[in-house]
Structures are given as structure tokens and as C-alpha cells.
């Protein structure tokens, strides 16, 4: 088995911005020495997520709107008392969605569904640069 690790650095605006990173991940898988296997996509940090979505205008509105219902931005988080900041909702949203996913690939091509893209979702309350770890594993 071969394992190759890469990093992507992605600028984001926060507030559950959704960024399509499918092409970046696919390019790393294509250039790797691994022909068949899995790729793990993991965002380091506790206020962002990686998931799949149909990356289309309606869902780019629906997902943040639904997250706002589940974990609204605002003052009612004990986390704010601990660190004197304003991103308690960001942590809750990231916990609900999770920090990473694993996608299979064959012949250096991601095996995603037709309407399935890999996305970074930055929940924090400010713009920042997100570091994503891409681990390609297989034969």
C-alpha cells in the first residue's frame, strides 16, 4: 500500500461559506502514484467541515439557512464565556457536520456521484485561511 499526503490552503469568508474543492482533490489524486484506493479529506480546526453536496445555487442558500436554524449565530453559547469570543455556533455546526470524509477512487478518478461535489464549509464568524489535509491511500 502507498500513502501520499498533501495540503491545500483555502481562503474563506466564514459564516458557513461553502467552497467546492472537488477539482483540487481530483488533481491530487490524478497526480498521485496510487491508481486505486481511497482519499481522506480532513480540515484541521474546530470551526470548519468537509462534506459532499450538490454544489448548486439553491443548496448554497439552503445549507447555511438550515444550519442557522440548528445552531444560530448569537450570544447564547457557554463557549463565549470560556474564550470571550463569538464563535460558539461555529463549533457546534462543525461538530454536527464533521471535519472530514473519505472518497474511493479507481484509475486515479474519484468515484463521486454525478451531482456530488466535495466541499469545505467554513462556519467561523470571520474570514480565514483553512488548511486541508489530503491523504491518498491504496495501490
Residues 38-62, mean pLDDT to the nearest whole number: 98
Dihedral, 81, 82, 83, 89 alpha carbons, nearest 10: -70
In tens, the pLDDT along 102-112 reads 999 999 999 99
Q: Read off the pLDDT of each residue in 60-87 and give the average, rounded to a whole number.
A: 95
Cα Rg, the chain, nearest whole Å:
16
pLDDT tops 90 at residue 98: yes
Using an 8 Å Cβ cutoff, are 99 and 43 in contact?
yes
Task: Give the N- to C-terminal CA distance of the chain in Å, as an integer.
Answer: 5
- For residue 48, the model assigns a pLDDT of 98
Query: What are the C-alpha distances in Å from 69 to residues 10, 21, 49?
Result: 26, 26, 17
Q: How confident is the model at residue 11 (pLDDT cuts 50, 70, 90)?
A: very high
Question: What is the reported pLDDT for 56?
Answer: 98
Number of domains forming the structure of the chain: 1
- Give pLDDT, residue 75: 84
Specify the CATH number for the domain of residue 70: 2.60.120.460
DSSP state of 86: S
Domain span at residue 89? 2-138
- Provide the pLDDT for residue 61: 97
Amino acid at each position: 500500500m502507498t500513502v501520499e499526503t498533501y495540503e491545500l490552503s483555502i481562503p474563506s469568508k466564514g459564516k458557513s461559506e461553502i467552497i467546492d474543492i472537488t477539482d483540487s482533490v481530483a488533481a491530487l489524486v490524478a497526480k498521485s502514484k496510487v491508481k486505486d484506493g481511497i482519499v481522506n479529506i480532513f480540515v484541521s480546526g474546530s470551526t470548519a467541515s468537509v462534506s459532499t453536496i450538490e454544489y448548486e445555487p439553491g443548496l448554497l442558500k439552503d445549507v447555511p439557512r438550515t444550519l442557522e436554524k440548528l445552531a444560530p449565530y448569537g450570544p447564547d453559547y457557554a463557549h463565549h464565556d470560556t474564550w470571550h469570543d463569538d464563535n460558539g455556533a461555529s463549533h457546534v455546526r462543525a461538530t454536527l457536520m464533521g471535519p472530514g470524509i473519505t472518497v474511493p477512487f479507481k484509475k486515479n478518478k474519484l468515484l463521486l456521484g454525478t451531482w456530488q461535489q466535495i466541499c469545505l464549509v467554513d462556519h467561523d464568524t470571520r474570514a480565514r485561511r483553512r488548511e486541508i489535509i489530503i491523504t491518498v491511500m491504496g495501490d
